[in-house]
Amino acid sequence: MTATVPRHVASEPADDIVADLREHGAVIVEGVLDPDLLARFNAEIAPILEQVSAERSYLNPAVDFFYGDRVRQITGVAARSRVFGQEILCHPFYGAVCDAVLGPSCSRYQLNVAQVMDRGPGADQQILHRDEDVWVHLPRPHPEVQLASVIALVDFTAEIGATVVAPGSHRWERERYPAPDDLASAEMPAGAAVLYLGSTIHAGGRNVTADRWRRGMHMSFVVGWLRTEDNNYLSTPPGVARTLPRRSQELLGYAAHDAIADGGGYLGTVDLLDPIELLAQGKL
């Protein structure tokens, strides 16, 4: 793996980070979660992970194969971690990047899925893939619909299975498959994230250590008019959502997608009203 991914720090102007993201399809950004936030999040999810088995089944055999049986997963993180629901989900860093990447394609963007992926010893490299292929019916070319990331919750090294990325692959012909020299290992310290576009080829790396878990969290956002991977309304039901900041409620999809000012219509209403207002009024 000899390709490289541009590196930034989270305090730099979002425009600089987004410019490299558009150019290379991926960027590594250090300091997305500061040490205090990282420590509090890790402390909150550690006991949850202890209750999770890596040997589980998923919704179908293809997904079983994709994740394998060496990965402990936590989804619905907003309902299971106050630190996530109150701070990480609505982190201003992601807001600034999503405003730039997704803002032009929608009236409002939303969380697609947050998924802690604790990849254990012996976890094989995932199949190289593009995250946006879950929306296979979307015609191409299309505007950016997804901003994806993997946040390192421990130090990511190649041997522990750091995310593997093919920089520039967002502009490749669909048929091109990465050669070894096209790939980079997103090695980065805990608290950093590798950000990538939905069309950028990547995979979870192979964990060749004997006893270390590669704890990371996929977090991605999509335009507000696409079906999300996680069913956020069921994963974080109204009783939980109403205890979260309004910004987090918006990102979980509780706010209507109102494109009327752009000549479109609205999506996601309840009784033809905006659910986020119903939540605020105690009616949901």
**Residues near Fe ion (CB under 5 A):** 131
Task: State the nearest-atom distance from the C-beta of 129 to Fe ion, in Å.
Answer: 6
Task: State the nearest-atom distance from the C-beta of 146 to Fe ion, in Å.
Answer: 10
Tell me, rounded to whole angstroms, the distance of Cα 87 from its chain centroid: 15
- Shortest-Cβ-distance residue relative to Fe ion: 131
Task: State the nearest-atom distance from the C-beta of 164 to Fe ion, in Å.
Answer: 10
Length of the chain equals: 284
Task: State the nearest-atom distance from the C-beta of 25 to Fe ion, in Å.
Answer: 13
Which backbone phi and psi does 223 adopt, to 5 degrees? -60, 150
> Reduced to 3 states, what is the DSSP secondary structure of residue 273?
strand
Q: Among residues 110 and 112, whose Cβ is nearest to Fe ion?
A: 112
Task: State the nearest-atom distance from the C-beta of 224 to Fe ion, in Å.
Answer: 21
What is the spatial distance between Cα 65 and Cα 127, in angstroms, rounded to a whole number?
9
What is the spatial distance between Cα 254 and Cα 261, in angstroms, rounded to a whole number?
19
CA atoms within 13 A on the CB side of 77: 30
What is the spatial distance between Cα 147 and Cα 243, in angstroms, rounded to a whole number?
26
CA angle 53, 56, 57 (to 5 degrees): 160
Q: Among residues 127 and 261, whose Cβ is nearest to Fe ion?
A: 127
Q: Among residues 131 and 230, whose Cβ is nearest to Fe ion?
A: 131
Q: Among residues 220 and 249, whose Cβ is nearest to Fe ion?
A: 220
Neighbours of 268 (CB within 10 A): 18
Phi-psi region at 58: left, alpha or beta (left = phi > 0; alpha = psi -120 to 50): beta
Tell me, rounded to whole angstroms, the distance of Cα 23 from its chain centroid: 20
Task: State the nearest-atom distance from the C-beta of 280 to Fe ion, in Å.
Answer: 35
Q: Among residues 118 and 131, whose Cβ is nearest to Fe ion?
A: 131
Q: Among residues 131 and 144, whose Cβ is nearest to Fe ion?
A: 131
